[in-house]
Amino acid sequence: MVIVSWRMLVRVFCVLILSICSVQMFDQDLNPRTLAGLEKEWSRNPCFKKVCQRGETCVLDRDRNSKCVCQTDCGMLKFNRGQYEVCSTANVTYQSECHLNIDHCLCKSNARGCSQPGVTKILVDYFGACRDFPKCTDSDATQFPDRLRDWFYVVMDEMARRAAIGEYKDLWLETVKGHNHNYATIWKYCDLDVDPQDRRVSKRELQYLMKTVKATEQCLAPFLDKCDVNNDREITLMEWGHCLGLKDSEIVDKCHSIHQYRRQK
């Protein structure tokens, strides 16, 4: 029988709830120490400042030199069948985005375990298992802008009800007061235009929207391509508004005040 001291139990307990006990922990003699002290201790680990790529994790060799290697698993997370599945751009279904990233690392390194030898980049196309999409008909394409505006309104309203709307609260109140989905359309553009905040939404900034909506909306990809009128791989606020059926007078730049408020917070 293994006898565990109460001191050891306390230490184990604090490690388990580190995210909750982030303000104060204890040293080996159970003396309180601050978060700054913990961060200083963590910073001594060579992996602390090591930046690894997608699907990689940092490990130390015998000489305590840090290096990035492919992850071997997705930790202790439990993946219920189908709950976190993603579809790659090669139309391969993965159990989760974590599993896809591991395969990406293995294939990029030409390592054992790679499911697609010869492939050097594996990307998420959309969330959910791979499926065959019906064709986006002319009728679907005509109705799509209205459906997308309605969806933006629902998402904005749901975020507000969960107190997660943050800097968008004033714009949400205007939206609800007038039942004006146009404001929700402007909000979504501002939400997408984040890196950099330049009133030009790039393909990269659209990736999360694509991953989220593509599995249920076969018209999304052709719709976004159509929005990019000059085919420069970026969508301006004016292009976004016109594409979603807004008049010139309804396309108002709300992003500056939103991002300014965000920085002040």
pTM over 0.85: no
Q: Extract the tokens encoding 208.
A: 């999360």
How is residue 112 annotated by DSSP? Answer: T
Domains of the chain and CATH, by start: 6-43 (no CATH), 56-127 (3.30.60.30), 138-264 (1.10.238.10)
Dihedral, CA of residue 196, residue 201, residue 205 and residue 211, to nearest 10: 170
DSSP state of 105: H
d(CA 115, CA 45): 33
Tally of CB atoms within 10 A around 103: 21
pLDDT tens per residue, range 50-106: 999 999 999 998 888 999 999 999 876 666 666 789 999 999 999 999 999 999 999
DSSP secondary structure letters along 133-202: PPP--HHHHHHHHHHHHHHHHHHHHHHHHTT--GGGHHHHHHHHHHT-HHHHHHHHHHHH--SS-SSEEE
Query: What is the distance between the alpha carbons of residues 34 and 185, in angstroms, rounded to a whole number?
Result: 45
* Residue 18 confidence (pLDDT): 40
Residue 1: per-residue pLDDT: 39
Calculate the CA dihedral of residues 206, 209, 211, 213 and round it to 10 degrees. -140
- Closest of 117, 95, 99, 97 to residue 108, by C-alpha: 117
Long-range contacts of the stretch 251-254 (C-beta < 8 A, 24+): 251/186, 252/186, 253/199, 254/171, 254/183, 254/186, 254/187, 254/190
State the first-to-last Cα distance of the chain, in angstroms, to the nearest integer. Answer: 54
Distance CA(66)–CA(48), nearest Å, equals 9
Query: What's residue 122's pLDDT?
Result: 96
* pLDDT for residue 228: 93
| Residue ranges for the chain with pLDDT beneath 50 | 1-30, 261-265
The reported pLDDT for the residue numbered 77 is 64
Judging by beta carbons within 10 Å of its beta carbon (0-12, 13-18, 19+), is residue 241 exposed, middle or buried? buried
